[in-house]
Amino acid sequence: MQPKSWPAEWMRAALGLCVLRTLAPGPTYGYAIASALESAGFGVIKGGTLYPLLTRFEAAGWIAAEWRPGAGGPGRKYFALTDSGQHELSDQSGQWKLFATTVHDHLQKGPAA
């Protein structure tokens, strides 16, 4: 059974990578990212959590942002993975898999005798 919300420390560790993964299929905007993560079972992701991450990734060159015009306003800000972001996603995904396996194995087997 999925808990109501994940421990904040776990979310802090995993959210960045999951945001990058959400952007992998193509450019999308802030609320769509939050919705996709919520649908994936991460719980409600607030704007106050999401945008600082996106800003950090933009500064790191992993994502690029572009405003697309909307009716009667600035429209929506779309975020897209850059080449550097795709490499980062690939690297981090590999490392996370290794880490998750390590944790899982440890939880299953316990400390080496």
Partner 1 sequence: MPDLAIERLGPSMMTSTSRDHESGRRGIRSEQTATNDATWFDEFTIELRLLAVRGNDIGDAVASAREFLADAGSSAEECFGSPKRYAAELNLSTVPLKAVNGLGLRAGLGVLGLFGFTLSALPLVQGKAVKIDPATLVVVAAVGIVAVLLPTFLKVFVRMRLRIWMIVVAAVLGFGPSIALSLWGGARVLFTVPALPIVIVSTLLVLVPAIWSQMRHSPHDDPIIEPGGAAELRPTVSTRLFLGMMTWSMVNLSIVVWLFALLGEPLER
Q: How far is the CB of 74 from partner 1 (least distance, A)?
A: 4
Q: How far is the CB of 111 from partner 1 (least distance, A)?
A: 38
Q: Which two tokens stand for residue 5?
A: 């919300």
- CB closer to partner 1 out of 6 and 77: 77
Interacting residues with partner 1 (CB under 8 A): 22-23, 25-32, 34-36, 46-48, 50-52, 55-56, 59, 61-64, 66-67, 69-71, 73-78, 80-86
Q: How far is the CB of 88 from partner 1 (least distance, A)?
A: 11
